[in-house]
Each structure stands twice: as C-alpha cells, then as structure tokens.
C-alpha cells in the first residue's frame, strides 16, 4: 500500500512539520505507514530532520523544498520523510549517530539517505540548492545518490547493514554493571575545568554553547571536593553568558549559543530547556556569591517566560525562532542611532551600562552586551536602567516577531517547572511557584489512560511519551513538593516511576528512551548521551534517587543505585556525552536529605531556602506523625518541631533551632571552600 502522492504534513501536531505543509515535496511524517510505502515501492528514503527554531533548516527549505524543480526530483526518486527532532528525539539520535559514524560533522538540518527498509547509508546536513560554500548542490546530490543506489544496490545494502549494526551497538549497549558504588565525578570536573576558557568561560574557541551538563558537573564537583577551580570555571562561564550578547538584555532569556568565542553574537533562537537550566545555575550562583547579576537574570528570564512563552493552557512553548521576517536576528539587533532615538538624553547613561558589538562573519546590525568589568563611571541605578530597557522592549515589540513553536514538550516543561519551583522557593516568589504548578497541572491533565504524551499542541497529543518525560516530571513533582509542602505530587511521581518501569524498563537495571509499544523505531535506544540537556538515563537516575529520598523507600533506593551502576558500566563504552550519568550516579550513591517537621510555616524553612543544594532533597513533614514517611528506619525523633539532616541512610541528631540548621547547611559550602 502506498500513501497519496501529495504532501501530508498538514495533518501533523508539530508546528515545524506544518511549516512544510505547503512545500511541493510529497512529505510524509515518520510513521509505520511511510516506512511501509518505501518498502512497497522499493525506493530509498530521503530523511530530513530539523526543528522550528533552526535557521539553516529554514534556508534549505526556502532554497530547495519550496522549489518545484527540486521537489519534482525528490518526488520521483525518493520517499520523502520529514521529522521534528524535538518530537522524535529517538529517531534524531539514531540517524545523527549514523551520520557522525561516517566521519561527517553533525548538525541540523540533518539530511540522510536510507535504504527502503530504513537503514542509513549516506548523509549530510545543509546542502545549498547550487554548488557553493564548498558543498555540492542538493539536486546534484539527489541524482548522484540515486545513481549509486541503482548501480551498486548490493554494496550499499551491505554497507548499510554494517552501519546500522554499529549505531545499534553504540546507542543500545548491553554491558556489565559497574562493580563499585563510585562515580568518577572528580576526574570529570577536572577535565572540564582544564578545557574551560579561563578568561571568558565555556569551552575554548568558537562557537560557544552553554553546555549545561558540563556546568552542572563543575558545580557538583565543587560541592563534593571543594576544588575552587571548578567553582571559578562555573562562575566565569555563567557570568560570560549573562553579560554577553547571547543573553537578551532587552527582553530576557538566553539564546542557543554564540557564533564567536566571546559570547557576543548569538544564534538567536531561544530554547525553553536552555533557560530552565540557566535559571537553576543562576540560583546556585546567587546563593554562593550574592551577586545581583544572577538574581537579575533570573527575574528578567521569568518575566520573558510569562510574557512570551507561557500559553493560555499554562504550559510553556518550546522555542522562539532565530528568524523574523525571513532574516536571522533582526528582531534583536540595534544601531546606536536607533537607541538614541528611543532614549534621547538618557542614552549616555544607558551606554555606560550596555554596549553594542559585533563579531567576525556577522553581517547584521550590532548586538547589546554588558562590558566586563563595568565602566568605572557607570552609575549604579538599576531601576533607571530597567526603565530604559523597558522603553527599548516596547519599541522592539513593533517589529515583526520571531515565530514561536507552540508545542508543549513534556520533558522540557518538566525542566522548567522544576526551575521555577526552586527559584520561587529561594527568592520567596510564590507567583513563580504557582506558574510552575500551572504548567504541572496542564501536563497532568494531558494524561490518557496512565500514559504521558511527549508533545501537546492544542487538543492534539503525541503518544507514547519518552522516558525523559517521566523522569523530568518526577523531578518537577518533587520540586513542587519541596516548594509547597503538599504531598499529592509525590503520589503522582510514584505512579510515574511505576509507569517508567512498565513501559521503558529493560527487565534488568536500565531503561530505554522509547516505550516498548513504539512500533516505528528501527531499534530501541538507551538515551545515555547528553546533548544540550542531560541524558534521559541521567534524569531517570536522579528522579529515582530523589523520589527514594523523598519517600524513604528502600526499594526505590536500591533501584536507583542499580540503575546508576548499570549506566556507569555502559559509560566506559562511550566516547562522549556522559557527564549527566556521572553526576546523577554520584548523587544516587551518596544521597542527602533534609526533613523538616512543623509544616510550611516552620521557622526552619527560611534557613533551608537560603542554602539550595542540588544534591539534597528537602521534605516537609507537617507533624511528627508524618516523619515515618520521610526518615530512615531507626532515626531518633525529637519531641516537637525539629530538622533532620541525613546523609545516606544515617541522620544527624535532631536540630531544634533554625540558627543551628543554617549553620549546618552553610558548613557544607564553607568546608568545600577550604
């Protein structure tokens, strides 16, 4: 059976796929039906993977996919399948791994050629319509690949089988578990610190990415070992991003990466996950340094979320495009004349705080950044600066806005729910916690049966979800409980942990990214590798260990340790992308917990909130009768309200005074600093 000879993407839930619904290409979404069509026609597959905020995806679409002549060649020679990498990270990871296994550099758009049974045999990323940039033209590529397939089918199929087997071994390894309960966190943090640019932060060179898993590893390494260079590498990197043009000083929010080595000119897309992780990093940095830059960037980012990313449903959109009016960055850039026209006599004050700059290979207007260190004569008047930025923001709002990808990704929303709950708790902003709770309620209301979707757009749901969806939402549920003291979200988290095992468990001590009833995947992959977000496996380890701490469930504790051991056993077989697993395993092997009796009004809470520790789970027990749900067996319980600081399965004697608790929590950081 073959599908209609027409473009079928208008039926899809993904805004990215719908962007291509008017292409003359006979696009299909990735599905069992599309794969069956390729087999029935014995025709190779042209697979194109991208996402809504991707600039070069748009360029290739305009040049080739909207071109009738190019589309005619594609329709005649191939079954053409379009994938949103954010909706199908499992498919994206498989074919990105295939591309890099051939020695090519990965990226998006990802352009892969597959045999009719969906095994990859050749590919690339962006291809221009005609020969340029040292790359062959796309039409010539289409014809050459088809000729090779026609003339050398047997050899290509043999090579495809070898490549497919290689990718499967890498993405779904089965190896022995680690033999001890230790994670090489110190050596990982040391290697990251060695690679960090000492002046600007981030990895040396260009482009510069936030690389949140590396940042998190540095901070955990500092907390565990007290090695000050890990702390400095973290803070230097974070300040570099927040002062650079990669941060939107007018509207708030962090862009995806900078194209240069100075954090100056960004690739202008804004992703929900980058900003969720940045909020948590700023929270840790503010608790450590009290530097107002970290508070300011959290506040302006949350304002941006509420203004531009929060949907009527309460969930958060996935991203803002790099382009507006068909041109990259024009919504965000400025000239001095335009700023002076808006600000008038206040311009001199403004330019003592923020500057305009550009970078090599950037042809657009300049980008705003904050000089480091600040100018010596810059007046310290943050309220006045904020008012001037508001004027610029109002002026900028009159420009054509970048497109927004309105699909709600469950795992990315889980990351943001957690970040907002933690930041709202730390800064005493209940409206932030409520914003997190609203997104949480929306995700819970999207459940069908007992299953989470992965993507939600309006009334449409994409099932089944990924294991990362369950892990991120478990962590979000725990963060909301820490912020509010309400235990209902813990009950939901326990149910999600059970569903995680039912649909994603491997029958031993591991999990797959895709559910057992996912019918259209070439093979199930583990989800071990980090990308811009820590891997699904690392999120699962963290979720299970945090849930075990929150419930004092010994079976969950043993499960989290077993999953961490198995993942560490696989780490030795991988070349990159394992920071998330190492950090999560270190926490699972050495869990920390603070239990507070006395409810949400307890005087202990203000002390607790001042000392956030990503390794620690905080449990609020309204009364002594609830302590049995949170404390390890055999813990001595005091008469009256108290705090219990636990390390592993052992708790210190009850702490009766908030001042003593604050001193104990501060001691951890002070001891690390010595």
pLDDT(673) > 50 = no
CA gap 389, 121 in Å, rounded: 51
pLDDT of residue 672: 45
Q: What is the dihedral of CA 499, 500, 502, 505, to 10 degrees?
A: 180
Query: Model confidence over 250-289: pLDDT tens digits?
Result: 999 999 999 999 999 999 999 999 999 999 999 999 999 9
Q: How far apart are CA 57 and CA 59, in angstroms?
A: 5
pLDDT of residue 601: 57
| CA nearest to 408, candidates 381, 445, 382 | 445
Q: What pLDDT band is residue 527 in, cutting at 50, 70 and 90? A: very high
Long-range contacts of 336-345 (CB under 8 A, 24+ apart): 336/366, 338/395, 339/392, 342/391, 342/392, 342/395, 343/388, 343/391, 343/392
- On whether the CB atoms of residues 509 and 566 are closer than 8 A, the answer is yes
Pick the more confident residue, 610 or 340: 340
In the chain, pLDDT over 70 holds for what percent of residues? 97
pLDDT band at 599 (very low <50, low <70, confident <90, very high): low
**How sure is the predictor about 387, in pLDDT bands with cuts at 50, 70 and 90?**
very high
Q: From the CB of residue 613, how many other CB atoms can be counted at a distance below 10 Å?
A: 17
CB contact set of 639 (below 8 Å; sequence gap of 6+): none
**Interatomic CA distance for residues 109 and 56, integer angstroms:** 7
**pLDDT for position 625:** 59
Which CATH code, of 1.50.10.20, 1.10.10.10, 3.20.20.140, 3.40.50.300, is assigned to 407-590? 1.50.10.20
Percent of the chain with pLDDT over 90: 82
The reported pLDDT for the residue numbered 173 is 83
Structure tokens at 209: 């990415």
Taking each helix axis from N to C end, the angle separating 410-427 and 467-484, rounded to the nearest 10 degrees, works out to 20
Is residue 54 very low, low, confident or very high in pLDDT (cuts 50, 70, 90)?
Answer: very high
Q: Measured between alpha carbons, how far is 190 from 259 in angstroms, rounded to an integer?
A: 26
* pLDDT above 70: residue 376: no
Q: What is the mean pLDDT of residues 451-478?
A: 97
Q: Which of 477, 356, 334 is nearest to 410 (CA)?
A: 477
In angstroms, what is the C-alpha Rg of the chain?
26
Most distant pair of Cα atoms in the chain: their distance: 83
> Which pLDDT band holds residue 88 (cuts at 50, 70, 90)?
very high
Res 674 pLDDT > 60: no
CA 398 to each of CA 52, 303, 402: distance values in angstroms, whole numbers, following the listed order? 22, 19, 12
pLDDT digit string, tens, across residues 140-149: 999 999 999 9
User: Can you tell me the distance from the alpha carbon of 264 to that of 456, in angstroms, rounded to the nearest whole number?
Assistant: 34
In the prediction, which pLDDT does 5 show?
A: 94
Note the pLDDT of residue 626. 66
Mean pLDDT of 633-662: 86
CATH homologous superfamily for the domain 9-171: Glutaredoxin (3.40.30.10)
Span 490-495, average pLDDT: 96
Mean pLDDT of 383-387: 95
- One-character DSSP codes across 480-502: HHHHH---HHHHHHHHHHHHHHH
d(CA 429, CA 425) in angstroms, rounded, equals: 6
pLDDT in tens, 398-420: 999 999 999 999 999 999 999 99
Q: For residue 598, is it left (φ>0), alpha (ψ between -120 and 50) or beta?
A: left
| Sequence-distant (≥ 6) Cβ neighbours of residue 465 within 8 angstroms | 410, 451, 452, 453, 454, 515
Alpha-carbon distances, residue 582 vs 173, 183, 216 (angstroms): 17, 6, 11
Burial 139-176 (b: 16+ CB within 10 A, else e): bebbeebbebbeeeeeebbebbeebbeebbebbbbeee
Say yes or no to pLDDT of 94 above 50. Answer: yes
Give the model's confidence band at 486: pLDDT under 50 very low, under 70 low, under 90 confident, else very high: confident
Q: What is the pLDDT of residue 1?
A: 63
Q: Are the C-beta atoms of residues 152 and 113 closer than 8 Å to each other?
A: no
Query: Tell me, what's the pLDDT at 649?
Result: 83
Token code pair at residue 283? 């929270």
Mean of pLDDT over the chain: 93
Mean pLDDT within 458-472: 96
The pLDDT value given to residue 89:
97
Count of positions (residues) in the chain: 674
CA distances from 172 to 168, 195, 492, 525, 671 (A): 6, 29, 29, 5, 41
For residues 51 and 83, what is the distance between their CA atoms, to the nearest angstrom?
8
> Which of the four pLDDT bands, split at 50, 70 and 90, describes residue 671?
very low
Which uninterrupted H or E stretch holds 665? helix 658-673
β-partners of residue 79 are 45
Tell me which of 194-203, 233-242, 612-621 is least confident.
Answer: 612-621
Separation between Cα atoms, residue 275 and residue 298, nearest integer Å: 9
Q: Give the mean model confidence (pLDDT) for residues 464-485.
A: 96
* Cα separation values, 611 from 269, 292, 296, 448, 647, Å: 33, 16, 19, 38, 16
């Amino acid at each position: 059976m073959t599908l209609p000879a027409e473009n079928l993407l208008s039926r899809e839930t993904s805004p990215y796929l719908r962007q291509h619904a008017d292409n003359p290409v006979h696009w299909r979404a990735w599905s069992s039906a599309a794969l069956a069509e390729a087999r029935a026609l014995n025709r190779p597959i042209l697979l194109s993977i991208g996402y809504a905020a991707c600039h070069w995806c748009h360029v290739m679409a305009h040049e080739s996919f909207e071109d009738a002549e190019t589309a005619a060649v594609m329709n005649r020679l191939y079954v053409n399948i379009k994938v949103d990498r954010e909706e199908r990270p499992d498919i994206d990871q498989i074919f990105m791994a295939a591309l890099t296994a051939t020695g090519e550099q990965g990226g998006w758009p990802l352009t892969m050629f597959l045999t009719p049974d969906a095994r990859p045999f050749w590919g690339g990323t962006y291809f221009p319509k005609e020969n340029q940039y040292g790359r062959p033209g796309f039409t010539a590529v289409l014809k050459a690949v088809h000729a090779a397939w026609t003339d050398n089918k047997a050899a290509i199929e043999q090579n495809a089988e070898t490549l497919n087997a290689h990718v499967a071994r890498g993405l779904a390894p089965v190896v022995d578990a680690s033999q001890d309960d230790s994670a090489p966190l110190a050596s990982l943090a040391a290697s990251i610190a060695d690679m960090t640019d000492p002046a600007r932060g981030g990895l040396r060179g260009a482009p510069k990415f936030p690389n949140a898993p590396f940042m998190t590893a540095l901070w955990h390494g500092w907390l565990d070992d007290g090695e000050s260079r890990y702390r400095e590498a973290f803070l230097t990197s974070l300040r570099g991003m927040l002062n650079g043009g990669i941060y939107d000083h007018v509207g708030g929010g962090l862009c995806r990466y900078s194209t240069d080595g100075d954090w100056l000119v960004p690739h202008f897309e804004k992703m929900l996950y980058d900003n969720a992780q940045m909020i948590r990093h700023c929270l840790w940095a503010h608790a450590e340094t009290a530097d107002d830059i970290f508070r300011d960037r959290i506040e302006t980012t949350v304002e941006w979320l509420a203004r531009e990313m929060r949907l009527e449903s309460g969930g958060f959109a996935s991203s803002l495009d790099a382009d507006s009016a068909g041109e990259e960055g024009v919504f965000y850039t400025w000239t001095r004349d335009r700023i002076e026209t808006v600000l008038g006599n206040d311009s001199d004050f403004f330019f003592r705080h923020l500057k305009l700059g550009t970078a090599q290979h950037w042809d657009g207007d300049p980008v705003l950044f904050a000089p480091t260190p600040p100018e010596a004569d810059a007046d310290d008047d943050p309220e006045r600066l904020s008012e001037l930025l508001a004027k610029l923001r109002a002026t900028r709002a009159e420009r054509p806005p970048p497109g927004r990808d309105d699909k709600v990704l469950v795992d990315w929303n889980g990351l943001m729910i957690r970040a907002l709950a933690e930041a709202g708790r730390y800064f005493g902003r209940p409206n932030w916690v409520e914003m997190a709770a609203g997104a949480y309620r929306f995700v819970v209301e999207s459940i069908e049966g007992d299953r989470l979707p992965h993507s939600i757009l309006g009334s449409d749901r994409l099932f089944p979800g990924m294991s990362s969806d369950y892990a991120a939402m478990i962590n979000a549920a725990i963060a909301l409980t820490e912020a509010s003291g309400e235990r209902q979200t813990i009950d939901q988290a326990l149910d999600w942990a059970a569903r995680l095992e039912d649909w994603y468990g491997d029958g031993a001590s591991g999990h797959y990214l895709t559910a057992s009833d996912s019918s259209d995947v070439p093979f199930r992959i583990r989800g071990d590798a980090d990308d811009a977000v820590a891997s699904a496996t690392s999120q699962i380890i963290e979720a299970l260990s945090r849930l075990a701490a929150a419930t004092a469930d010994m079976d969950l504790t043993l499960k989290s340790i077993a999953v961490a051991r198995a993942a560490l056993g696989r780490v030795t077989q991988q070349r990159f992308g394992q920071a998330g697993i190492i950090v999560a395993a270190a926490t699972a092997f050495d869990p920390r917990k603070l239990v507070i009796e006395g409810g949400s009004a307890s005087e202990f809470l203000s002390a607790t909130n001042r000392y956030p520790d990503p390794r620690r789970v905080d449990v609020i027990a309204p009364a002594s009768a609830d302590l049995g749900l949170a404390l390890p067996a055999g813990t001595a319980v005091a008469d009256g309200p108290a705090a219990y600081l636990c390390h592993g399965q052992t708790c210190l004697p009850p702490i009766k005074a908030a001042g003593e608790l604050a001193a104990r929590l501060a001691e951890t950081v002070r001891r690390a600093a010595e």
